[in-house]
Structure 1
Amino acid sequence: MIMLSILAMTVLVFVSRYLFLEPKLPLRLNAQAQRLLSYSSPAVLTAIWAPIVFMPDQELWLTPSNPYLIGAAVAAVIAWKTKNVLLTTFISMAIFLVLKLI
């Protein structure tokens, strides 16, 4: 039953992506639908990272001793200033690792 569920989800995800990414198919979205879908990636990513950063132990933790919060803030500043994904990733991960080990 689990394998059937995994297979069904795989087919569903593949078909939904294929319909929009295959250039030979005549399916096109209008400008309003494209604009609406442009908000989905930031919304999903925020839904993933916000609970990790602000509630790492299942309770709100907004103190300067929160390594998740400091790492996220450093990553945001570095990304804003340098616009370099690799540099942002390495520096923020290093800072987070140092803060977790302390």
Structure 2
Amino acid sequence: MILLSILAMTAVVFLSRYLFLSPKLPLKLNGNAQRLLSYSSPAVLTAIWAPIVFIHDDRLSVSYHNPYLIAAILAAFIAWKTKNVIATTVLSMLCFFVLNSWIL
């Protein structure tokens, strides 16, 4: 049953991507639909990272003892200043590992 569910989800994801990305299919979205879909990536990414950064032990954790929050703030600052994905990733991960071993 689990394998069938995985295969069904794979088919749905593949077909939905193929319909919009295949240049051979004559399916085009209007400007309003494209503008609406441009908000989906930031919304999904925020839904992924926000609980990781702000919620620990089933409660809100907004303090300087939270290494996730400090590393996220540093990552946002590095991304803003350098506009370099690799530098942002490496430096913020290094900061997180140092803070996580020092604070916890």
TM-score by length of 1: 0.98
Alignment of 1:51-70 (within 5 A): 51-70=51-70
Aligned to 1:91: 91
| Native 8 Å contact 1:71 1:95 kept in 2 | yes
Moved over 6 A (4+): none
Structure 1 position 30 matched with structure 2 position 30: yes
Structure 1: unaligned runs, 5 residues or longer = none
In structure 2, C-alpha distance between the alignment counterparts of 1:97 and 1:57, rounded to whole Å:
20
**2:59 alignment partner, SS class:** coil
In structure 2, C-alpha distance between the alignment counterparts of 1:7 and 1:99, rounded to whole Å:
41
In structure 1, C-alpha distance between the alignment counterparts of 2:78 and 2:97, rounded to whole Å:
17
RMSD over aligned Cα atoms: 0.6
In structure 2, C-alpha distance between the alignment counterparts of 1:69 and 1:58, rounded to whole Å:
16
TM-score by length of 2: 0.96
Kindly provide the amino acid, as one letter, of the partner of residue 21 in structure 1.
L
Q: For each residue in 1:31-71, what CA deviation from the matched residue of structure 2 results, as whole angstroms up to 9, or x when unmatched?
A: 00000000000000000000000003221010011000000
Q: What fraction of aligned residue pairs are identical, expressed as a percent?
A: 70
Structure 2: unaligned runs, 5 residues or longer = none
